Structure 1
Amino acid sequence: MTHDPRPFGRLLTAMVTPFAPDGSLDVEGAAKLATYLVDEQRNDALVISGTTGESPTTSDAEKDTLLRAVVEAVGDRARVVAGVGTNNTAHTVELAHAAEKAGAHGLLVVTPYYNKPPQEGVARHFLTVADAVGLPIIVYDIPHRAGTAIATETMCRIAEHDRIVAVKDAKGDLIASSQVTARTDLAYYSGDDAATLPLLSIGGVGLVGTSTHFTGPIAKDMIEAYERGDTATALSLHRTAMPLFTGIFRSPGTMLVKAGLRAKGLPAGPVRLPLVDASDEELHQLREDAAEAGIVL
């Protein structure tokens, strides 16, 4: 089946989840941050409750409240994708149903982590979720976190489902990704900011970013330049953003994004354990990386 080649646009950010100083969910802050990411960082869509959004340490009720606040805040200016992936298929289906009711435009479903299922189990996990809901699904392939890679044959198999339309690709295997983009209609979004331009060259369509809390306009211009055939400009923008594309991951991205947002006076708040707030030294390094990319934090 032929899908929209860019079902969620070109640029998405995996949004952090703002917390109040006491660690509780900052709903007003989430709405404000979502508005900033859409209106100032030029995102076509936002991913809520991904790993960057501290989904492992937010409750199901908090995820629902957060999603509703963000959907209301961005209105029709952007799409909102809800992270619903867990290592329990039944729980993922529950979260998917809740996200659909809350107004999500799509779902991000990660490979089941820690329990390391065989490829048959990986396939059945995604197909079970896709069968259960009416929303389009982005499959999140990130073996260095999940412990299991989605094999090329498995990806091609699940791509036959009408509602599995895209991949957030953090596998770091351009050959495998190239094989899938050649054999399916899946829209490939880079899950690694620095790998976006290489992925575009083999059929990718965009980025689900982390540094794009700050680098959104550069990343958007880079993708659009590549699409119109201006590869020299795309490469120049890639090189401009590289210090922050990579620097945001010197420590867990959530920690550094929140430190950078706090420095800019934007909603972020603390992180929840087992993450810890970035140190002064880490913030100093982040500011240096940002400055090298022409961004002031």
Structure 2
Amino acid sequence: MTTPGTTPFGRALCAMITPFTEAGALDLDGAQHLADRLVSDGCDGLVLSGTTGESPTTTDAEKSALVRAVREAVGERASIVAGVGTADTRHTVELALEAEKAGADGLLVVTPYYSRPPQDAVEAHFREIADASGLPLALYDIPGRTGTRIEPETMIRLAEHPRIVAVKDCAYDLLGTQKVLARTELAYYAGCDEYVLATRAVGGAGFISTVANVAPRQFRAVLDAFDAGDTAGAIRRQQRAIPLIELMMSAGLPGTVTAKGLLGALGLPAGPVRSPLRPAGRETVDGLLAAYEELVSVC
């Protein structure tokens, strides 16, 4: 059974975008500036090179450079979890070892995608990566993108591995989440922003949030209120964030696109998205900015 308060990478984690220059190159100065801001505004962990970090279109060398730069910027003020998941077990192991050398504190490993492996193969994939590296792993369960679920029974077996310690939960299955929480010590992080309070309330560790790129204080405040016993305040804060969550995550565009559009409008490091993604249009950015301003005005 999960111990309440188990937070191997912190409670409030941002799934950080990867800033690029206008020419499309990796912007390490921008990444350091953004990382410092996120930590100063309440994030105690940063997830790099995940979905929001455009991992499919960054090179292995860029991923390692990003970890090194962000570690330099935040020091020991926050944990760094490096996204290393690919569709290829061998490549994932290589990325895991490089992230460890670069200074990451943990690894985010997504279910292999496209090939749709059965559950025994999914389990073997994660075990091989956990065996290869000395870093703790967070399993990334996002079947809507990968096409393959990490089934609760598979998750329960994987929890027996000493280096598999956490889950980024984007499965939209609160019943399955609670089954695993009741039978393991895994730390569950809400990977969908609308589930931040719900996941914490059933024993989750916290969140790994895309919307926290622009509103880190507001999302940290949900957890702080709940943990202080102010359930009504936590509900109020979660509900106030819903308009921005909906525009950023459920309006037909990937969160990477909306996060970069809004960050750019706020004068913060972001830059363009890489193809095949395309930037948010002016009307979309204006709507995001209005929702953001409304949220920060009341929180």
TM tier relative to shorter chain: over 0.9
The residue matched to 1:229 in structure 2 has which SS? coil
Q: How far did residue 178 of structure 1 move? A: 0.4
Cα deviation digits, residues 70-121 of structure 1 (max 9, x gap):
1111001111110000010000000000000000000000011111000001
The residue matched to 1:293 in structure 2 has which SS? helix
Q: CA–CA distance in 2 between the matches of 1:53 and 1:102?
A: 17
Match of 2:295 in 1: 293
Q: 1:295 to 1:123 in 2, by over 3 A?
A: farther
Match of 2:38 in 1: 37
Kept in 1: contact 2:2–2:187 (CA 8 A): no
What root-mean-square deviation, in Å, do the aligned CA atoms of Structure 1 and Structure 2 show?
A: 1.5
In the alignment, residue 235 of structure 2 is paired with which amino acid? L
Match of 1:14 in 2: 15
Kept in 2: contact 1:193–1:246 (CA 8 A): no
Q: How far did residue 158 of structure 1 move? A: 0.4
Match of 1:235 in 2: 235
Q: CA–CA distance in 1 between the matches of 2:246 and 2:75?
A: 31
Within-5 A mapping of 1:211-226:
211-226=211-226
Kept in 2: contact 1:193–1:245 (CA 8 A): yes
Match of 1:206 in 2: 206
Kept in 2: contact 1:20–1:26 (CA 8 A): yes
Q: CA–CA distance in 2 between the matches of 1:71 and 1:2?
A: 29
Q: Which runs of 5+ in 2 are unaligned?
A: none
Q: CA–CA distance in 1 between the matches of 2:234 and 2:27?
A: 37
Match of 2:24 in 1: 23
Q: CA–CA distance in 1 between the matches of 2:287 and 2:121?
A: 42
Q: 1:281 to 1:2 in 2, by over 3 A?
A: closer
Match of 1:105 in 2: 105
Residue 268 (structure 2) pairs with residue 273 (structure 1): no
Q: How far did residue 295 of structure 1 move? A: 5.4
Q: How far did residue 229 of structure 1 move? A: 2.0
Q: Identity percentage over the alignment?
A: 53
Q: Which runs of 5+ in 1 are unaligned?
A: none
The residue matched to 1:194 in structure 2 has which SS? helix
Q: CA–CA distance in 1 between the matches of 2:6 and 2:246?
A: 27
Q: 1:176 to 1:2 in 2, by over 3 A?
A: closer
Could you state the TM-score of these two structures normalised by the residue count of structure 2? 0.96
Within-5 A mapping of 1:253-268:
253-268=255-270
Match of 2:117 in 1: 117
Q: How far did residue 2 of structure 1 move? A: 8.2
Q: CA–CA distance in 2 between the matches of 1:187 and 1:8?
A: 9
In the alignment, residue 168 of structure 1 is paired with which amino acid? K
Q: CA–CA distance in 2 between the matches of 1:69 and 1:285?
A: 32
Q: 1:162 to 1:25 in 2, by over 3 A?
A: same
